[in-house]
């Protein structure tokens, strides 16, 4: 991050994240997001920074490509499916794990 803060040129790269079953991947102009348990939504960040127009139905190939890349990343870093996390919390008596 330091080069970006110094205003040096930073090579674009794909970003991935997951939190409480929600997931996203940002690749070039596209941002694919999923609020658990809903389906993936796709936004063209270059023209829609506010994420108002879901392009998923118009760009199914992009959704397929990015969701596959997200799954590869999730498997590589050990993301535990949210349903499994909730199951573990219930089994261990931790109560509601949604909030």
Show the tokens assigned to 34: 């999923």
Q: Residue 4: is its pLDDT beyond 80?
A: no
- Edge to edge, what strands does the sheet with 41-44 contain? 15-19, 22-27, 30-34, 41-44
CA distances from 61 to 8, 57, 66, 68, 75 (A): 33, 9, 9, 11, 21
Q: What is the mean pLDDT of the chain?
A: 92
What residues does each domain of the chain span?
Answer: 9-91
Selected from 3.40.640.10, 3.30.1120.10, 1.10.510.10, 2.60.40.10, the CATH number assigned to the domain covering 9-91 reads: 3.30.1120.10
What is the model's pTM? 0.82
The predicted-structure confidence for 73-86, as pLDDT tens digits, reads as follows 999 999 999 999 99
Q: How far apart are CA 64 and CA 99, in angstroms?
A: 30
The predicted-structure confidence for 50-69, as pLDDT tens digits, reads as follows 999 999 999 999 999 999 99
């Amino acid at each position: 991050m330091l080069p970006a803060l110094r205003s040096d040129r930073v090579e674009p790269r794909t970003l991935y994240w997951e939190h409480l079953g929600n997931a996203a991947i940002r690749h070039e102009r596209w941002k694919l997001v999923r609020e658990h348990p809903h389906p993936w939504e796709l936004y063209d960040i270059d023209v829609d920074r506010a994420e108002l127009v879901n392009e998923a139905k118009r760009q199914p190939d992009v959704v397929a490509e990015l969701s596959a890349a997200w799954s590869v990343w999730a498997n590589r870093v050990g993301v535990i499916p949210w349903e499994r996390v909730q199951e573990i919390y219930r089994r261990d008596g931790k109560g509601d794990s949604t909030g």
